Structure formats: C-alpha cells, structure tokens
Amino acid sequence: MTPVLEVRQLSARYGRVEALHDISLSVADGEFVAVLGPNGAGKSTLMRAIMGLVANSGDVSFCGSALPRQSPDACVARGVVLVPEGRGIFAPMTVAENLELGAYLLNDSVEFERRQARVFNLFPRMRERLDQIAGSLSGGEQQMLAVGRALMADPKILLLDEPSLGLAPKVIDEILHACAPQQGRAAYRSGRAEGAIGASPVQPCLPAFSRPADRRNRSAHDQVP
Ligand SMILES: Nc1ncnc2c1ncn2[C@@H]1O[C@H](COP(=O)(O)OP(=O)(O)OP(=O)(O)O)[C@@H](O)[C@H]1O
Ligand SMILES: [Mg+2]
C-alpha cells in the first residue's frame, strides 16, 4: 500500500550549516509515528523541511504524488499541516482571529463553521475564550489553540512538534485526544513503544516528542550529522 507520507533522503540546511542529512521515513494510513532525538538532533528541522519552510533537498511525497519542496502554501493546500514547536500563535490577536488564520485558504462560510465547530467540540475551552487575546491564554490553552488553528486547515496529516512541552498530563491528554486514537494515547502515557494505530480525526500524525512515544524512527534519529 502507498504510504500517506513518504520522505526520501531529505537534507536541510541553515545557510552553510547542514542540520539534516539524508533522512528517510514513511507514515502509513492511520499511523502515529514519533520522531525521537536529543536537543538539536534535527526534529524540528525535519518538520520544517517536510513543509518547505527551510532550504532542503530530497523527495517528499504525499498520497503518492510529490510535494513541492519550497512551498508551505502548497503543503497546506494538500492537507499537510504543522503545529510548530513553541506553538507559533499570534499572541496580540484573539482566539477567533487565530482560528480564522488557520483557514486562510478557505472561502466557504459553511465549511468554516463546520471546521470551527469541530475545534470547539475537541477543545470546548476555545469557544469560551473566543474573544480573549491569545497571548493571555494559559500555556495549555495556547497549545490547544495551536492545534485548533492547524485543524482549521482541515489537515489530512498533522505534524506536531513537541505538542506536550511543559504541559500538565491532563492537557497533554486533551491534545492527544484531538489528534490520536485511544491506543496511541495509552502508549504515550505509559511511555512504552507502540506500533501502528487505528484511525484518528485527522488520520495519521507525525509528532516530534523528545521523550518515549509510539514508534521510534531510526533513520531520523541515527543519520543526523
Ligand atoms: N534558524 C536556524 N539557523 C541556524 N541553525 C539552526 C536554526 N534552527 C535550528 N538550527 C540548528 O539546527 C540543528 C537542529 O535544530 P532543531 O531545532 O531541528 O533541533 P531539535 O531536534 O528540534 O531540538 P529540540 O529538541 O531542542 O527542539 C541545531 O544544531 C540547531 O542549532
Ligand atoms: Mg525542536
């Protein structure tokens, strides 16, 4: 079966510094794959490179066809969406405005309402905080907003970069509940290795955890220079 996401020999650089070297990995339909590595190993760079947010070379294909290598817009349009490390929310704007920006490619008010309702269903607190300035949300709420904003793009695959950093276990659980099926959450909580898991609201996920999670990806871990 064709993998949903296939990364082949992906390298990335910041100026003259190569931060990622020849990484290959694949994500099957419904799979929740974890990328593990110490600080500076290149987990965030891998996600940025998949999205075309950093200069890169190699091949990335999504559902069997190539993703353009330097076009984050095209990735989002195809349904490949990143929740960046540090959340990347627009702090001076309201929760509602942040969610609107997540759906910036959409020009259909009915579909907008449907997506927003789904976010409220997953994170009821976002409905309560709709008019609040995003920068004044708690850390956990900001992470919910970051995931919610990504979901407003209607992703087919979600790239989560350290979604649990600094959050209480209960909040982590709420966020993973939004992104992963039950089996994945259980595996994450117990910290044991786990293989492929079933369907989720946004199909497969590719999180970057810096502690034990579902499936360790050797290529991503071992080939970083
Ligand atoms: N904007 C940048 N300019 C120059 N070098 C960078 C930049 N961003 C990251 N790097 C370098 O690239 C390497 C990989 O960084 P990256 O952020 O991908 O690591 P990481 O695995 O996500 O680490 P962490 O667990 O700390 O988030 C590091 O050596 C880092 O210093
Ligand atoms: Mg990182």
pLDDT digits (tens, 9 = 90+) for 107-130: 999 999 999 998 998 889 999 999
Write down the pLDDT at residue 176.
67
Q: Please give, one letter per residue, the 3-state secondary structure of 154-199.
A: CCCEEEEECCCCCCCHHHHHHHHHHHCCHHHHHHHHHCCCCCCCCC
Total domains in the fold of the chain: 1
Write down the pLDDT at residue 36.
75
Say if ligand 1 is within 6 A of residue 42 CB. Answer: yes
Q: Which parts of the chain sit beneath pLDDT 50?
A: 181-206, 209-225
Which protein residue has the closest C-alpha to ligand 1 atom 24? Answer: 39
Residue to mutate, 13, 44, 224, ligand 1, most ligand atoms under 8 Å from C-beta: 44
Say if ligand 1 is within 6 A of residue 37 CB. Answer: yes
CA distances from residue 54 to 57, 103, 163, 199 in whole angstroms, order as listed: 10, 22, 20, 30
Say if ligand 1 is within 6 A of residue 17 CB. Answer: yes
Instruction: Give the pLDDT confidence of 25-57 residue by residue, as tens digits.
Output: 888 876 777 777 778 888 889 989 999 999 999
Q: What is the CATH number of the domain that holds 163?
A: 3.40.50.300
Write down the pLDDT at residue 179.
62
Domain that includes residue 96, residue range: 5-222
Which protein residue has the closest C-alpha to ligand 1 atom 30? Answer: 40
